């Protein structure tokens, strides 16, 4: 009896003296980033979830067709209205371009930039590389946003035109407004400079080559200037990239697709085909296939003939096909910029190495002769077509169309013809974004 009482009293005392350690539970899997590896993991998440919007823009170009009987019903639900430019009242099941995921990547980029001096267990070089990548992440996301949701730089007065909201601080309490198109581009360019100063990895090993490397700011810069119509700057940037990255896959002999992350052409392998995106739709348009001349290896390497008039896509659907920047784009940019500057010979000199790796011998000769006799305008058109042929289904076409002529493309579906209007080359802000922040349309 006594023993019981004593035992109970002891137990009770134990209970009463419970200490703070009891509360020190680290929740399973939760973490506040402190080390270099943890900050790297934060950024890897953004690389991994990078939007596939560039690929989705293909749906709005002349590269793809949809058909009531041949397209799958899930694809029709998700993409039909996007494809037929029914933007005022798309069906509620339609998939549209993202918004928040751009800004989440920007938030993390800002977070890394702001916390760079607190990162533990990492060398200065590792931290600098991480910060450089963060600037690239911020620049590239803002660049994509302004090209999806604001008028083309080349078709507006950029200082007087509404751009997109820019977020330069990791601040959940921000209620931003838009900035002008011009200031967004300026910010992108200034971020590229900062990125350049920090980045120090020349080449990432295979498997990590989705990360931004030392040359990537120049690659993006060439694209930014191209979209701005600053030909000289675009040419210069492309030239610098080509100095270190000029390899091309030879489609006459090789089997690796140039947009594979394993390809010799690869500069940054970031944006991925989502395997359920238009690999199931998988219907390249006949008119687009018509752009390829006979003897062009791409016609059979990129596409597979299914019936006499329909094709399916080989350049998509594999997890290996991951690409944001590659050398072929740099050759094409250099060629276009030169042609626009009326340096036609230089232009042809940038185009030739690419064609040598894409066309068979006779086609190469024919094309060379053709180009020699072209006017500047014809040459520009040829280079634009070459861009379409080479970069097909890689998410370039839409941006190339909108920065140039914004042609009135047409489509037929279920007996009705649809035509895209020039202003439809600019997407409206998603209504959920306007709902969450009604004043983003305003800008100062």
User: For residue 156, is it left (φ>0), alpha (ψ between -120 and 50) or beta?
Assistant: beta
3 binds other proteins (CB under 8 A): no
Q: Quick one: how far is CA 423 from the chain centroid? A: 22
Q: Which residues pair with 411 in a beta bridge?
A: 418
Site for other proteins in 305-334 (CB under 8 A): 312, 314, 317-320, 322
- Give the footprint of other proteins on residues 226-245 (CB under 8 A): none
CA 127 from chain center: how many Å?
Answer: 25
Cβ distance to other proteins smaller for residue 375 or 431: 431
Restricting to residues 377-406, name those near other proteins by CB under 8 A.
none
Among 170-178, 212-220, 345-353, 356-364, the segment contacting other proteins (CB under 8 A): 170-178
* Binding piece for other proteins, criterion CB under 8 A, among 55-63, 154-162, 167-175, 295-303: 167-175
Q: Is the alpha carbon torsion for 327, 332, 333, 338 positive or negative?
A: positive
What is the Rg, in whole angstroms, of the alpha carbon atoms belonging to the chain? 26
Q: Which residues contact 193 (CB under 8 A, 6 or more apart)?
A: 217
Site size with other proteins, rule: CB under 8 A: 96
Q: Which helix (H) or strand (E) holds 236?
A: helix 231-244
* Per-residue x/- track, 115-154, other proteins (CB under 8 A): ----------------------------------------
Q: Go through the chain and tell me how many residues it has.
A: 444
Pick 174 or 370: Cβ nearer other proteins: 174
Alpha-carbon span 121 to 124, nearest angstrom: 10
Minimum distance, C-beta of residue 302 to other proteins, in the bound complex (Å)? 13
Name which of 85 and 429 has its Cβ closer to other proteins.
Answer: 429
How far is residue 221's CA from residue 78's CA, in Å, rounded to a whole number? Answer: 33
Euclidean distance between CA atoms 256 and 279, whole angstroms? 19
**Nearest approach, Cβ of residue 44 and other proteins (Å):** 5
Q: φ and ψ at 267, to 5 degrees? A: -110, -55
Task: Rule CB under 8 A: say whether 208 interacts with other proteins.
Answer: yes
Of 91, 294, 300, 421, the one binding other proteins (CB under 8 A) is 91
| Cα 274 from Cα 316, distance rounded (Å) | 9
Separation CA 408–CA 418 (nearest Å): 10
| Candidate list 67, 118, 125, 439; residue touching other proteins; CB under 8 A | 439
Subset of residues 35 to 64 that bind other proteins, contact rule: CB under 8 A: 37-38, 41-42, 44-45, 47-48
- Given the rule CB under 8 A, which of 132-140, 224-232, 240-248, 425-433 is the region that contacts other proteins? 425-433
Q: Is 167 in the site for other proteins (CB under 8 A)?
A: yes
Q: Which listed range, 242-250, 358-366, 400-408, 434-442, lies at the site for other proteins (CB under 8 A)?
A: 434-442
Q: Which of residues 247-306 bind other proteins (CB under 8 A)?
A: 261, 269, 272, 274-276, 279-280, 282, 304
- Is the CB of residue 265 less than 8 Å from the CB of residue 328? yes
The candidate with the shortest Cα–Cα distance to 389, out of 283, 267, 318, 300, is 300
14-33: contacts with other proteins (CB under 8 A):
15-16, 18, 20, 22-33
Least distance from other proteins to the Cβ atom of residue 122, Å: 15
- The minimum distance between CB 47 and other proteins, in angstroms, equals 5
Q: Which stretch binds other proteins (CB under 8 A): 169-177, 184-192, 212-220, 367-375?
A: 169-177
Stretch that binds other proteins, among 124-132, 338-346, 375-383, 429-437 (CB under 8 A): 429-437
Near other proteins in 61-80, by CB under 8 A: 72-74, 76-77, 80
Closer residue to other proteins in complex, CB, 265/386 = 265
Specify the residue, 105 or 335, whose C-beta has the smaller distance to other proteins.
Answer: 105
Among 97, 99, 288, 331, binds other proteins (CB under 8 A): 99
The two structure tokens encoding residue 353: 């190495």
Whether 347 and 238 have beta carbons less than 8 Å apart is answered as no
Nearest to 396 by CA among 47, 85, 58: 58
Instruction: Specify the DSSP element, H or E, that contains 336.
Output: helix 327-340
For 375, half-sphere exposure in the C-beta direction (CA atoms, 13 angstrom radius) is 2
- Please report the DSSP string for 65-78 in residue order: ---TTTS-HHHHHH
- Rounded to a whole number of angstroms, the minimum distance from the CB of residue 206 to other proteins is 8
CA pair distance 367, 351, nearest whole angstrom? 11
Cβ closest to other proteins, residue 107 vs residue 225: 107
When binding is defined by CB under 8 A, the residue of 55, 212, 429, 443 that contacts other proteins is 429
């Amino acid at each position: 009896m006594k023993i019981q009482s004593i035992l109970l009293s002891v137990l009770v005392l134990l209970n009463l003296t419970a200490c703070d350690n009891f509360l020190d539970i680290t929740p399973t899997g939760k973490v506040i980033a402190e080390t270099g590896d943890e900050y790297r993991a934060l950024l890897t998440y953004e690389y991994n979830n990078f939007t596939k919007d560039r690929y989705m823009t293909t749906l709005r170009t002349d590269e793809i067709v949809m058909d009531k009987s041949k397209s799958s019903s899930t694809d029709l639900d998700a993409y039909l209205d996007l494809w037929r430019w029914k933007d005022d009242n798309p069906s509620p099941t339609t998939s549209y371009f993202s918004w928040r995921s751009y800004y989440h990547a920007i938030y993390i980029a800002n977070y890394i930039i702001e916390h760079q001096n607190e990162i533990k267990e990492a060398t200065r070089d590792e931290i600098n590389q991480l910060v450089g990548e963060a600037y690239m992440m911020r620049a590239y996301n803002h660049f994509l946003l302004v090209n999806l949701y604001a008028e083309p730089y080349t078709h507006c007065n950029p200082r007087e035109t509404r751009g997109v909201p820019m977020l330069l601080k990791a601040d959940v309490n921000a209620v931003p407004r838009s900035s002008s198109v011009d200031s967004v581009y300026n910010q992108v360019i200034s971020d590229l400079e900062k990125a350049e100063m920090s980045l120090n990895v020349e080449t990432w090993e295979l498997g990590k080559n989705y990360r931004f490397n030392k040359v990537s700011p120049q690659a993006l810069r060439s694209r930014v200037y191209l979209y701005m119509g600053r030909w000289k700057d675009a040419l210069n940037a492309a030239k610098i990239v080509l100095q270190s990255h000029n390899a091309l896959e030879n489609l006459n002999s090789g089997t690796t697709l140039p947009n594979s992350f394993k390809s010799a052409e690869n500069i940054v392998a970031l944006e991925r085909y989502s395997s359920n995106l238009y690999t199931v739709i998988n219907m390249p348009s006949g008119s687009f296939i018509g752009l390829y001349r006979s003897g062009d290896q791409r016609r059979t390497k990129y596409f597979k003939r299914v019936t006499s008039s329909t094709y399916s896509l080989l350049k998509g659907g594999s997890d290996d096909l991951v690409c944001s920047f590659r050398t072929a784009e740099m050759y094409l940019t250099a060629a276009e910029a030169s042609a626009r500057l009326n340096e036609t010979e230089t232009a042809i000199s940038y185009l030739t190495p690419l064609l040598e790796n894409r066309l068979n011998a006779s086609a190469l000769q024919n094309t060379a002769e053709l180009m020699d006799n072209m006017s500047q305008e014809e040459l520009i058109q040829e280079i634009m077509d070459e861009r379409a042929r080479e970069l097909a289904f890689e998410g370039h076409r839409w941006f190339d169309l909108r920065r140039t002529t914004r042609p009135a493309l047409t489509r037929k579906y279920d007996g009705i013809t649809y035509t895209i209007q020039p202003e439809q080359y600019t997407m409206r802000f998603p209504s959920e974004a306007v709902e969450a922040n009604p004043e983003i349309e305003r800008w100062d």
